[in-house]
Structures are given as structure tokens and as C-alpha cells.
Amino acid sequence: MKKIELINMKVRNFKGFKEFELAANGKNVQVFGDNATGKTTLYDAFLWCLFGKDSKDSTKFSWKPLDQNNQEIHHLETEVVLELLIDGEEIEFSRMNKEKWTKKRGSNAETFEGHDATYRIDGLKQTQIKFKKRIEEIVNEETFKQITNIYYIAETMPAKERRKMLFSLVEDLTDIQVIESNKELTPLLDILGKHSVEDKRQMIAEERRNINKDLDNIPQRIDEVDRSINPDLTEANRLSLEDEKTSRETELAKNEQELASKTNGTYLTNKRSELTTKVAELEADKSNYTIKQNEKIAGLQSGKQIVYEQAMSAQNEVLEEEKRISSLKTDIESEKSYISRLQQEKESLRNKYISIRDNNFPDFDEHKTTCQFCNQDLPVEQQATIKETYQKEREAFNLNRASELEQINEQGTSLSKEEEVHEELLQDLKNQAADTTELDKRIKVRDDLKSQHTAIIKQIEAIQNNATPFTETEQYKKKITEIEAIKQEIITIQTGDDKELQSQKEVISNIKLSINQLNEQLYEYVLSEKQEARKQELIEEEKLLSVKFGELDQQLYLLDEFIRTKVDLLTSKINAKFNYVDFKLFEEQINGGLKEVCEVTVKGVPYSSGLNNAARINAGLDIINTVTEINQINAPIFIDNAESINDLLAVQSQTITLSVSKDKDLKMEVVK
């Protein structure tokens, strides 16, 4: 295991330190001091030397010493020198920053231009790239922070990165391993097939949504069919009509038999029988013609119902798309309002910038170099002091103004970048809202279906209004010609009018007419039975979809249980790596779903709430122990707020404890 130990650290002009030396000699060190005496600054200096960051992992922190008015002290060199022992080899790293001041042509005033940094390894000056590369060869920055800062992983490290780090500690589980660990998940072997758990879950969720949509539409479709069924067509009425038809057919047969018995002669009887047959055929042809016309209308009625259901579904899709576009327009107005506020803030900063920029330090008053009582020039030394004081005040004023202008520029730049982001978002929302392709497509589908529905209605009306009367058909004309010929032949045979026979014929004709009317009424029951059959089809479809919906719900439950099982297994494997802490990696939601989290806990108490400082420190040490063991490298651990704990967890690394005491100056003790 690689071992890094701190031998010595010298700090010069860093934050609150003017000069300080921490002589650890590779041993554990205890540092004591009152609040604000610089305990945490030691770790800041340690990290700044190596990585240019403080203990909060930030590069933007104030490392310059401050005067009594909390103003930065300029023209100082800030330096930290680290003497480390790395696997028995001593290496010295140092970083020094100093301010860079320049005079512009034609001006005696110096202007602050930034900082120059000097990097050294074992006293030899290095470029920043070589300096960083040498440190990286020893240990990368991320690992170093993890094994030296007890608060880094639990507090500073983003939860997403913390989860990624933890999962890298253990091998991932295959789907088969998870299923075999829980017998309840065995059906997933057949359900998954060649798909992954996530892909299968998406497929089932999509199928479930489609079925749910169909289940929502079926009751409306059933209602449409149900309303098309004539409620007056009862079974009792149908039986009554059939009984009446049977009765009328019996009456017809009786009258025809009587008519035949009243005729004289075989030839005449045959002719009359032939005439009766022809008339019956004509009536049958008429009845069949009527039935065929009604069947044409019945097919169109069924088609009209189907197109109507499709049009209603298309209308719902149009409403959904219109709702989506309306939501986009609401988002657009919200973005416009936010961009307006950003522009107002920028304008305010612009006015502030102009005000500060145009505010100049007053010119030197030459009267200050003469005595206010006798108007004689003051001594040269006194004049020089007055001018030097004026020059320092003017330089301080200009530095402060430059700093304020720089801050305003940074704020303006930040607002401009944010405005650009939201302008892009606004344009994207506008583009989406302006793109009505999908809406137009759905409207066209709906309108096409409406047009089809209207066309069918007109077709039905045309058939009903424009159907050729049976009496105008060729079939009727041919048959009536044959009948008239037979009638004429019978009249020729007879010597005179037979009024009784004529009356008998009229009775027979009326009976046949009533039978045809009964046939038309009975056909309405045929249509009603077809609609009822369609209704039953929809009901059965609804039952099947409901069963399928339940099966999909069960499959989703198994997939969710799979995720919970895998979560439990991975969590157990990860927590087995630690002795003192556990990690809560998932949180179950109210709806039964799982939310990814990454919370350190000690005996069930969350690190972020309810855990005292002592437990937090030991939690950090336990985490460092594990990370140190896995990475096979240890380094000095800085333990801040160490006064809050009595028993530290045992660690293999060098420790530097920082404890609050009543000492006004830092006191250091090497633990033997």
C-alpha cells in the first residue's frame, strides 16, 4: 500500500497566517486553538499547495491576508511549502502566488493585472503542467480528497458522484442472478424473453397505456350501439307479429282454395291457378326486392357507426394536441417574463457600472503643501509625506473602483449567459408551438372521417329517396305483362263479369299486402339482432382487455419487485464494505416507485439530519478506511472539530486533529 506522510508544512501570508510551520515529522498531530485562529486554514493551505483549492473543493476562495478593515493586503507573496514522505522518499512541493502590477504608458499609477504563480518540486521551478503531472503520478486529486477529508464523500461530493463511486466498489448483478435470488421473480424468465428489464418495462407500460385508452373508449362505443337499438322491439311483439303472419297466410290459403272451387272447367281452373301463381311470384319478388333494399341500408348503417367511432377517437387526439400547444404557449410567456427580469437586472448593472466608472478621485490640492496660516511652503519632507499619502489614497480608490467594475462585469456576463440560455429555450418553445404539423395531421384525419360519415348518411338518404320503385323495374314489368296476358285469356274464356270472383280476388290481394307489411316489420328485428350482436362483441372485447390489463399490472409488479430485489442486493454488498456506516441508496415513493438517493447513515440515523459531530467524524473515518483499502493508498487525514469526539475510529493513516480550545494562538502537539 502506498503511504503518504506529512513531514513539514510552512505557510506564509496565507489567509490569517503571516508565518506558520506545522512540523509533523510523519506523526499524528493535535492542533489546538480558539475559534478563528486558523485551524481549518491549515487544511486549506495543504490542499491549495497541491491542487489550488480549499477544503470545500472551491478554487474561488479568498486566500490573501486581510487588514483590520477586512481589505486585502497587497504586494505580498503567498507561499505554502509541503515536505512529504512518500513510500520512504522525501519530496518537497511548493506553490507561491504574487500580485502582478504594471504601469501604463504615460501614467505613473500602477494597475493590478492579476497573479503570477510559481511552482517548485524539491526546490526546482516547474511549469504548472509538470507540477500537476507529478502530483497525479502519486495520487489523483479526487482520490486524495476522498482519503484526507472526513467530510468530503459524505457532504461535499455530489450525491450522483457518490453513488457512482459506491457502485464501483462492487461487481454488478446480472438479471439472472437477481431472479434466482427471489423465487417470486421466476415468471420473469418467460416474461423478459430477449429483452432487458428496463426495455420490457417500457414495452409493458406502453401496451398498458394503449389498453387503458381502449377501455376508456369502449363504454362510449357500446352506448352508441345501444342507442341505435329500438327499445320497442320486444320479444313479445315479435312473437305477436309472427303469429299474425301465420294467421294471415292460413287465411290466404283458405281464400285461394275457395276461389279455385268457384271456377268452372279444367282449363279455366288451370289458368286461374297459373294466374294465382304468377301473382304470388310477383308479390314474392316485390318482398325480396324490399328486403334487398333494406339490406343495403343496413350495411351502410353499420359502416356509419364504425366511422363515427373513429371520428370521435380522432377528435380526442386533436384535443390532446391542442392542449399540448396551449401548454407550450404558457411556457413561452413564462420564459419571456423571466428574460425581461434578466434584462432589467442587466440594465441596472450597466447604470451602476457607468456611475462607478465616471466617479474619479479628486486631483491633488497644491494648497496642502503650504502652511494655511502663513502661506509659506511646508518643509520638503512634509510635502513628500502629504503627496505620498494622497498617492496611496488615490491608488486605493482606483483599486477599489477596478474591483467593483470587475465584479459588475462578471455579474453582467453571468446574466448575459443565462439570458442566452433562456433565449434559446424560448426559441425552442416557440418553434415547438409554431409547428402545427401534428395538429394539422390530426385535424385532417378527423375531418376526413367526418366527411366519410356525412357521405354515408347522404348515401343512405340517396338510396332511400332515389330507390327505383319495384313497379318500375324490368322484373316487375315482365311479370305484370305475363299476369295481364293470363287475365285477358281468362276474360276471353268467360262469357261475362264474375263480380263474386273479383271480390274474392280483392280479398286475396289485401291479405297478401298485409303479409308483406308484416314481413317488413319482422325485418326490423333482424337489424336489431345484428346491433345486439355488435354490442355483445364490444362487451366481450372489454372483458378480454380488462384481463390483459390485469396481467400487465402483475408483470409490472414483478418488474418493480425485481428492481427492489436488485437494490437490496447491491445495497447489502456495498454496505458490507464498511464497518461503521451504511448507505441508503434508494427511497421508496408514495406511488411505490423507487427514487435514487445516496445518504450516509449510522445505525439508521441519516448523516444529514440527527447525527452528532462525533458520529459524523467516525463516519468519515470509516469511509476513508474503506476507500484507502480499495485504492491501496493512505495519506494524512485532517479531522476538523475534533474536540467533539473522545474515541476516534482506528485508521492506518497519519491524522491531524483540529480542536477548539481557549488558546488564542495555535498550539501543536505531536502524538507519540
Q: What's phi and psi for 373, nearest 5 deg?
A: -100, -45
Q: How do residues 181-215 score in pLDDT, each as one tens digit?
A: 888 889 988 888 888 888 888 999 899 899 999 88
Residue 86 C-alpha cell reads as 512518500
Hey, CA dihedral for 103, 104, 105, 108, is it positive or negative?
negative
Worst-scoring range by mean pLDDT, 51-65, 174-188, 227-241, 381-395?
Answer: 227-241
Q: Is 469 exposed, middle or buried (0-12, 13-18, 19+ CB in 10 A)?
A: exposed
Return the DSSP state at 467.
P
End-to-end CA distance of the chain: 23
**Residue whose entry in the numeric block shows the C-alpha cell 303479409:** 515
d(CA 599, CA 583): 6
d(CA 634, CA 1): 8
Q: How do residues 74-100 score in pLDDT, each as one tens digit?
A: 989 999 999 999 999 999 999 999 999
Cα 155 from chain centre? 27
* Close Cβ partners of 329 (under 8 Å, ≥ 6 residues apart): 433
Element (H, E) at 117: strand 110-121
d(CA 273, CA 257): 10
Helices 499-575, 235-262: crossing angle, 10 deg rounding: 150
* Close Cβ partners of 192 (under 8 Å, ≥ 6 residues apart): 175, 200
d(CA 163, CA 186): 29
Residue 129 C-alpha cell reads as 503542467
Q: What region, left, alpha or beta, does residue 115 occupy, with left being phi > 0 and alpha being psi -120 to 50 degrees?
A: beta
Amino acid identity at 41: T
Helices 380-434, 266-357: crossing angle, 10 deg rounding: 180
Residue 409 pLDDT level (bands cut at 50, 70, 90): very high
Residue 143 C-alpha cell reads as 482520490
Query: Do 21 and 12 touch, CB atoms closer than 8 A?
Result: no
Amino acid identity at 604: G
Asked if pLDDT for residue 505 goes beyond 90, the answer is no
Which SS3 state, helix, strand or coil, does residue 371 take? coil
Q: How do residues 474-488 score in pLDDT, each as one tens digit?
A: 888 888 898 888 888
Which SS3 state, helix, strand or coil, does residue 288 take? helix
Query: Do 294 and 523 touch, CB atoms closer than 8 A?
Result: yes
Q: How do residues 239-254 score in pLDDT, each as one tens digit?
A: 888 898 899 899 888 8
Q: Mean pLDDT of all residues in the chain?
A: 88
